[in-house]
Amino acid sequence: MEMDRDALNAFLDRDFAEVAHMFRVETAQDNALTLRLLPSPAHLRPGGTVSGPTLFALADVAIYLTILSMIGPKALTVTTNAGMDFMRKPAAGVDLLCETRLLKLGRVLAVGDALIFAEGDARPVARASMTYSIPPEG
């Protein structure tokens, strides 16, 4: 593992300061990570639930950070494919936790899965599968 929890949180604070306040890496281990989303009123849609774009961002950032935990701070790693299933609406005012695992980590592509949970509820809110392009060395 190239980056631990503290290094990933510092990377977010330094390189993604605009959104870093929304996310905190809870755990990081080989090929897996848990990312916390601290939802605010800006993340809600009518009906008092967290919006789909917010859930997508949580999954995207979580898998991205999982990849960086293994390869180091290559900020230009980018999403090339994504699929998401929304299963139930999370309640407003509850932190969301995204648990990831890398299925493949190659030289130029990485594939990961994510499950999103409302804190305190074992039933998933959403599931995502994403592929990322890793920039070449040099």
Domain membership of residue 90 (yes or no) is yes
Domain membership of residue 33 (yes or no) is yes
pLDDT at 138: 67
Domain membership of residue 58 (yes or no) is yes
Domain membership of residue 55 (yes or no) is yes
pLDDT at 100: 98
Domain membership of residue 138 (yes or no) is no
Domain membership of residue 32 (yes or no) is yes
CA-nearest of 61, 86, 70, 57 to 28 is 70
Domain membership of residue 39 (yes or no) is yes
Spatial distance between the Cα atoms of 121 and 17, rounded to a whole number of angstroms:
30
Residue 98 and residue 23 in contact, taking contact as beta carbons nearer than 8 Å: no
pLDDT at 137: 80
Spatial distance between the Cα atoms of 12 and 50, rounded to a whole number of angstroms:
22
Chain CA centroid to CA 66, Å: 8
State the pTM of this model: 0.96
pLDDT at 49: 87
Helix (H, G, I), strand (E, B) or coil at 102: strand
Q: Read off the CATH number of the domain in which 31 is found.
A: 3.10.129.10
Spatial distance between the Cα atoms of 96 and 108, rounded to a whole number of angstroms:
30
Could you tell me the residue range of the domain that residue 35 belongs to?
5-133
pLDDT in tens, 61-117: 999 999 999 999 998 999 999 999 999 988 778 999 999 999 999 999 999 999 999
pLDDT in tens, 22-76: 999 999 999 999 999 998 888 988 888 899 999 999 999 999 999 999 999 998 9
Query: What is the number of domains present in the chain?
Result: 1
